[in-house]
Amino acid sequence: MFLRSDESSTRGVTDAESIAELEEMLRQRDARIAELERIVGELSKVIEAWKRGHRVRPGGKIAQKPRDKRRATGRGPGRPEGHEGTSRPAPTSADRDVPVPVPPRCSCGGIIEPTEEEPGEHFVEELIPARKEVIRFRRCRGRCRDCKAAVLAPLPGGLGPSPKLGVRAQAEIVQTKSELGLTLGQTKKLFERQGLTVSRGGIQQILHRSAEVLAAGHEARPTSPSRKKLLPVGRRRPHHASACGTASGSRPYSCA
């Protein structure tokens, strides 16, 4: 608040003091505005981070927590000294043999001559890449003796009315969702690596059909009888104790 010269003189306040007071008020106001602008900027970053799908806000506890760096213990890999070692068990039978000839020369430079001794054995487990197999069902035809109707042999069960994929392929697709939890895109890529092209819509249809079959099986399954309620010993009823064939105090619970 500005003071006139006559008022300032009556109150003993000079113009220099009034100007200094006003400058201090402006400085405090500018500092407050700067602080509010900083807070607004941080909140804007948090809002933008949540819009992008972040689960941890910038500068949160996880971001501020330093990562623990493991310190070297000085011990090599494997079990400690004095403990029995363990390793993956090797197979005892082979599906095919691969002969490995001896090299022509020794490490000393001499020529190596093959001998008639029994060769050494080393077993290695390997994966066989999956390949697509196209099956052609040759459906036989017949004719009814009575109505003379033409009959075409039905397809094996489980294929569906107009199948494009076999039973094993459909089961693999269901397992990728139920056991592995893969998305439709991941399942599509997995089968493309094996030479089988399946669209996302086709995968979704197979999953829906399997869900309908499982739901029908659950509905057709007879309901199991409800379990009898257990009552503490102190709340037993006399006729229940005799029906269950237990004497008082022989068991902590009885049927109800």
Q: List pLDDT tens digits, range 202-228.
A: 899 888 888 887 776 666 666 555 444
**108-124 pLDDT tens trace:** 989 999 898 998 988 88
* pTM of the complete model beyond 0.75: no
146 burial type by CB count under 10 A (0-12 exposed, 13-18 middle, 19+ buried): exposed
For the beta carbon of residue 57, count every other beta carbon within 10 angstroms: 16
Structure tokens at 91: 């197979």
Does residue 9 carry a pLDDT above 60? no
Is the pLDDT at 1 greater than 50, yes or no?
no
Res 229 pLDDT > 80: no
| The pLDDT of residue 78 is above 90 | no
Average pLDDT over residues 44-50: 80
What are the CA-CA distances from residue 96 to residues 91, 92, 123, 126, 128 (Å)? 13, 12, 10, 11, 12
Closest CA to 55 of 64, 67, 66, 46: 46
Over 90: is that where the pLDDT of 131 sits?
no
Residues above pLDDT 90, as percent of the chain: 14
What gap in Å lies between CA 69 and CA 71, rounded to an integer?
6
